[in-house]
Amino acid sequence: MNFRFWKREKRDATSTQSTEDTGQGLGLPYLRNILKQQSLSLSAVFAAVEIISNSVAEIPINVKSRLRDRTDVVADHPIYYMLSHCVQTKFILMKMLIVDMLLYGNGFAYIERDRHSGRPTRLVYCPHGTCSVHTVKSTGDIYYMVKGIQGRVEPINMIHLFKNSKDGIEGIGILAYAANAIELSKYTEKAAENYFSSGCHLGGVLSTSSPRLTKEQRESIRTAWNEAHGTNGTGMAILEAGMQYQPITSNSKESQLLDTRLFNLQDIARFFNISPVMLGDLSHSSYSTIEASLLEFVTHTLFPYISLIENEFTRKLILPSEAQSLFIDLDDNFILRSDKVSQANYLATLKNAGIITINEARHQLGLNPMDGCDVLMVNFTNIEDNIINKEKNTDKDSEDEE
């Protein structure tokens, strides 16, 4: 595989004339930046982005072997050194990549490599707006232009996490799909702000028994009222003889303000493919629904991101000479550690079925290995039958020896 780094690719005059480069970029970066700033002020959007990005960033990244007789973690692989010597910590780097992918559809990190071996030495996070994707129409090949790096960057040197893509090249952020729901939430929040900041009285009519008021009299009464009681109608009103005040705005119950805000939360949760319970909507929840929401969150929300990262990291960080034997794995068992009961049942089931040993179960619990606990066992009445593939003399073996 050919690794290109800082040097610009050379082209002759013929290829320069026949090749058409089309910069696709990120599309309306200014508008998306405004959407991001305003959208994150909504609690539902902020909570959804935080929960998903934090959950994915917490998962350990391992290098594992594909060999049939060796499926354990390759603990001394250089990728661990690379992840620990990035500008940001591994958690911060992964969190920022996921946040950019959620909001903008694309998360970028430039791969610095050793010039001789081509082995990755560091990941450099590329903030939104500093990296663009370009396509060569004549060949369909893509390359990246990164602010601060001279020349083009080949795909093998760029971690590119994207989702909701229409062309398989660039992603589309969730905010673009949820624009209507987010706008409605903003209007609802603004209405709630105006309603409560005005003392729950947004307007009214001041009437008088006088048959007719001149324009000067109306303006004088309005000015005197605003000076004494404010434009929001708070405080104690002292009316002159023959005057009455009647509010004309509906209350929050009649306008279903609280119900609308709750619906907006549920609508935003649908776009992020996350249960409203995870965003704090406990209106129709119980212990069983919370437990089911956690399982649904792991299965339908996190696993697609885990698979996406595993595939991209394996393609870009594992050398071609290692591709047949090694792969990147995100330890999704780490998620179960928050639920001790589920974790205990999971490990006990695997151990009793002879799938893992006691020491392998202890390793997942962070405990030290014990002597004599490295054999696979299943539950039988006869203890001699517990150990799988235990060598013992049988009648058949005796006959074969004879």
Please give the structure tokens belonging to residue 147.
């602010």
Residue 85 half-sphere exposure, CB side, CA atoms within 13 Å? 10
Residue 116 half-sphere exposure, CB side, CA atoms within 13 Å? 0
Q: How do the pLDDT tens digits run along the chain, 402 residues long?
A: 444 443 433 333 333 333 334 344 433 444 445 444 556 667 788 889 999 999 999 999 999 988 755 557 888 899 999 998 888 899 999 999 999 999 899 999 999 999 888 899 999 999 988 999 999 888 889 999 999 888 899 999 999 999 888 888 899 888 888 777 777 666 666 666 666 565 555 456 656 666 666 777 777 777 776 666 655 555 445 555 566 666 655 554 545 556 666 777 787 888 888 888 888 777 766 656 666 777 788 888 999 999 999 999 999 999 999 988 899 999 877 776 666 777 788 888 888 888 888 888 887 777 888 888 888 887 765 556 566 555 544 444 555 555
Strand-by-strand arrangement of the 142-146 sheet:
21-23, 131-136, 142-146
Assessment of whether the complete model's pTM goes beyond 0.85: no
For residues 104 and 36, the answer to whether their CB atoms sit within 8 Å is yes
Query: How far apart are the C-alpha atoms of 246 and 226, rounded to whole Å?
Result: 16
Query: How far apart are the C-alpha atoms of 122 and 316, rounded to whole Å?
Result: 12
Query: How far apart are the C-alpha atoms of 345 and 355, rounded to whole Å?
Result: 14
Q: Please name which of 98, 106, 97 lies closest in space to residue 29, comparing C-alpha atoms.
A: 106
* Residues with Cβ within 8 Å of residue 402, at least 6 apart in sequence: none
DSSP secondary structure letter of residue 153: B
Please give the structure tokens belonging to residue 260.
């609308």
